[in-house]
Structure 1
Amino acid sequence: MIRRRDAAQATLDHFSGRPFAWGGSDCARLIAWHLRRLGYKPGLSRGGPYKSALGAHRALARAGFASLDQWLEWMGLAPIPPAAAIVGDIVKGTGDDVFGALGVCLGNGRLLGYSEEAEGAVVMQAIDLAAAWRAEPR
Structure 2
Amino acid sequence: MKLHDYITGHLGRPFEWGKHDCVLFAVGWLEQTTGRDFLGPYKPWGSAIEAARKVAKAGGLDLLFDQQLAPINPHRAVDGDLAIIRGTAYLFSGAHVVSVGEEGLVFKDRLEAAYAWSHQIQKEEA
User: Normalising to structure 1: TM-score of the pair?
Assistant: 0.74
> Normalized per residue, which structure has more strand?
2
SS in 1 for 2:66: helix
Correspondence for 2:80: 88
Q: Say how many residue pairs are matched.
A: 122
Q: List gaps (5 residues or longer) in structure 1.
A: none
SS in 2 for 1:15: coil
Q: Distance in 2 between matches of 1:121 and 1:22?
A: 14
Kindly indicate whether the alpha-carbon contact (under 8 Å) linking 2:75 and 2:111 is maintained by their aligned counterparts in 1.
no
- Equivalent position amino acid for 2:44 in 1: P
User: Normalising to structure 2: TM-score of the pair?
Assistant: 0.80
- Equivalent position amino acid for 1:103 in 2: Y
Correspondence for 1:132: 116
- Equivalent position amino acid for 1:16 in 2: L
- Note the C-alpha offset of 1:61: 4.8
1:17-69 deviation line (CA, Å, top 9, x unaligned)? 3222211111110022100122152331322322222201223355xx11111
Root-mean-square deviation (Å): 2.3
Kindly indicate whether the alpha-carbon contact (under 8 Å) linking 1:16 and 1:122 is maintained by their aligned counterparts in 2.
no
Q: Distance in 1 between matches of 2:31 and 2:116?
A: 18
Q: Distance in 2 between matches of 1:11 and 1:113?
A: 12
Kindly indicate whether the alpha-carbon contact (under 8 Å) linking 1:114 and 1:120 is maintained by their aligned counterparts in 2.
yes
Q: Distance in 2 between matches of 1:44 and 1:31?
A: 11
1:84-114 deviation line (CA, Å, top 9, x unaligned)? 1111111121x2xxxx11111112x212213
SS in 2 for 1:21: coil
Correspondence for 2:104: 120
Correspondence for 2:96: 110
